[in-house]
Amino acid sequence: MNQYDYIIIGGGCAGLSLAYHLNSSTLSNKKVLIIDKEQKNKNDRTWCFWTDQSTKFDHIVYKSWKNIEFLSENFVLNAPLHNFTYKMIRGADFYKETLQTIGQNPNFHITHEAVISTEEVDNKVLIKTSSQEYLAHWVFDSRFDSTNFCTEMPENHYLMQHFKGWVIETEEKVFDTSKIRMFDFRTEQGKEVRFFYILPFSPTEALVEYTLFSKYLIAEEEYDEKLKNYIHHQLQIDKYQIKDTEFGIIPMTDYKFGRKKGRKIMKIGIGGGRAKPSTGYAFYRIQQDSAQIVKSLEASEQPFYRQKNDKQYQIYDALILNIMNRKGESIKEIFTELFKNNPIERVLSFLNESTNIYTDFLLMSSVPPMPFLKSIKNVFLSRKLVK
């Protein structure tokens, strides 16, 4: 039977990130196996994040921006970023970089199989796939099963961030490459959170995306119709070609994900709670998590590190999700006031969970209080009743 020090289930962002961090550490001599059902060789997604720190993937950043734009009917913000940089990495570039780098290490292996079961046996983990069995000292499982969640959970919230984007190329130079359009709320909300998002790659090329935070998906033709109308009416572009498309679904939930699936099995990625519940951003959080896991393994030969006390952010996320769940259209006003009344880097620090209590107070006092007061009652009452 094949035996490994570490087995990583899933070769997506979380799995490949952890392997990449392991490969550049003192643990690069460990025997590592990545198991994934399919090969990662397509540009199937993009990841964006903002940071004032360098990352291991800065050399494959496709585009970066130092200005952010926010739009609603009665407010327009063009804000320069001083300390932060907003960065974008393409899936194809990430897969190529991680797989090529890992592939140069003879201790790291990749197999394309379906995992049937995991079982802890004699202080190790036995993994059965569709064709083989493997043993590991530690297993890192990045799988996320959305069927375990529903939109009506008694104690927690579960919404979906779903989006469809077109990479379009225009005949004329129409895009300002110095800034991203992070939120454009100039669209009918439909009792949900709906906005457009633009990443310009050149004066004639950009990703234009329609994004919703809601309980349910919409018909495919509705995404297309909204994109067509937005490009025509708001961007005033009539002649363009669709060069590429992307579609994604990200869970948004305040469910408390357990990191331990067993004594020797650790959940990582979205299934390990690494996506920000109220925004869906996950890439930078996954990099931070991967670095901490490796640091813990180096120091104590076990991956479970002590996480920072982020109780206040869990509460903020729960309140915002409750508002989205009850009255999603009110998020438009809340975000408008948030961006209007605060420096952009204060807002981004808050969304990155790197503020202090005083800063949090300034932010929360800058938005309409009534939706949050109702959510405080709903959140704490529901959690008290299910105890």
- In this prediction, residue 383 has a pLDDT band, given cuts at 50, 70 and 90, of low
> Looking at this protein, which amino acid is placed at residue 226?
K
- pLDDT above 90 for 298: yes
Pull the structure tokens for residue 228.
């067509």
Pairwise CA distance, residues 298 & 133, whole Å: 27
Predicted local confidence at residue 8, as pLDDT: 98
Q: Are strands 63-65 and 124-129 parallel, antiparallel or unpaired?
A: unpaired
* Domain match, 189 and 205 both: yes
Pairwise CA distance, residues 209 & 205, whole Å: 13
* Domain match, 259 and 135 both: yes
Average pLDDT over residues 278-289: 94
The verdict on residue 150 lying in a domain is: no
Q: Are strands 193-202 and 205-214 parallel, antiparallel or unpaired?
A: antiparallel
Domain boundary (234, 252, 270) is at 252
Print the domain residue range for 104.
2-145+255-300
* Domain match, 88 and 213 both: no
The verdict on residue 365 lying in a domain is: yes
- pLDDT above 90 for 303: yes
The verdict on residue 359 lying in a domain is: yes
Average pLDDT over residues 289-314: 92
* Domain match, 124 and 164 both: no
The count of domains in the chain is 3
* Domain match, 175 and 107 both: no
Average pLDDT over residues 43-48: 89
The number of beta carbons lying within 10 Å of the beta carbon of residue 23 is 20
> Looking at this protein, which amino acid is placed at residue 194?
R
Q: Is 311 exposed, middle or buried (0-12, 13-18, 19+ CB in 10 A)?
A: exposed
- In this prediction, residue 209 has a pLDDT band, given cuts at 50, 70 and 90, of very high
Pull the structure tokens for residue 83.
């300390």
- pLDDT above 80 for 281: yes
* Domain match, 245 and 263 both: no
Entry pTM: 0.93
Name the β-bridge partners of 180.
Answer: 68
pLDDT, the chain, mean = 93
The verdict on residue 85 lying in a domain is: yes
Comparison of pLDDT for 362 and 378, the residue scoring more:
362
Share of residues in the chain with pLDDT > 70 (%): 97
Predicted local confidence at residue 1, as pLDDT: 66
Predicted local confidence at residue 17, as pLDDT: 98
* Domain match, 167 and 226 both: yes
DSSP helix/strand/coil, 106: coil
Predicted local confidence at residue 40, as pLDDT: 87
Pairwise CA distance, residues 109 & 127, whole Å: 15
DSSP string computed for 342-383: S-HHHHHHHHTT---HHHHHHHHTTS-HHHHHHHHHHHHHHH
Q: What is the CATH number of the domain that holds 218?
A: 3.30.70
Residue partners of 32: CB distance under 8 A and separation at least 6 = 4, 5, 6, 7, 8, 19, 22, 107, 108, 109
Contact 208, 170 (CB under 8 A): no
Predicted local confidence at residue 107, as pLDDT: 97
Q: What is the CATH number of the domain that holds 100?
A: 3.50.50.60
The verdict on residue 153 lying in a domain is: no
Average pLDDT over residues 58-66: 97
Pairwise CA distance, residues 357 & 359, whole Å: 5
- In this prediction, residue 373 has a pLDDT band, given cuts at 50, 70 and 90, of confident
Domain boundary (234, 267, 300) is at 300
The verdict on residue 51 lying in a domain is: yes
* Domain match, 180 and 246 both: yes
Q: What is the pLDDT of residues 22-33, one digit of tens each?
A: 999 999 999 999
* Domain match, 210 and 295 both: no
Q: Are strands 75-80 and 115-121 parallel, antiparallel or unpaired?
A: unpaired
- pLDDT above 80 for 377: no
The verdict on residue 151 lying in a domain is: no
Average pLDDT over residues 185-193: 95
CA 217 to chain centre: 18
Average pLDDT over residues 83-107: 96
- In this prediction, residue 382 has a pLDDT band, given cuts at 50, 70 and 90, of low
Comparison of pLDDT for 153 and 331, the residue scoring more:
331
Domain boundary (236, 268, 300) is at 300
Share of residues in the chain with pLDDT > 90 (%): 83
* Domain match, 87 and 130 both: yes
Average pLDDT over residues 274-293: 94
* Domain match, 227 and 295 both: no
Q: Which helix (H) or strand (E) holds 327?
A: helix 311-327
The verdict on residue 306 lying in a domain is: no
Predicted local confidence at residue 331, as pLDDT: 95
* Domain match, 126 and 172 both: no
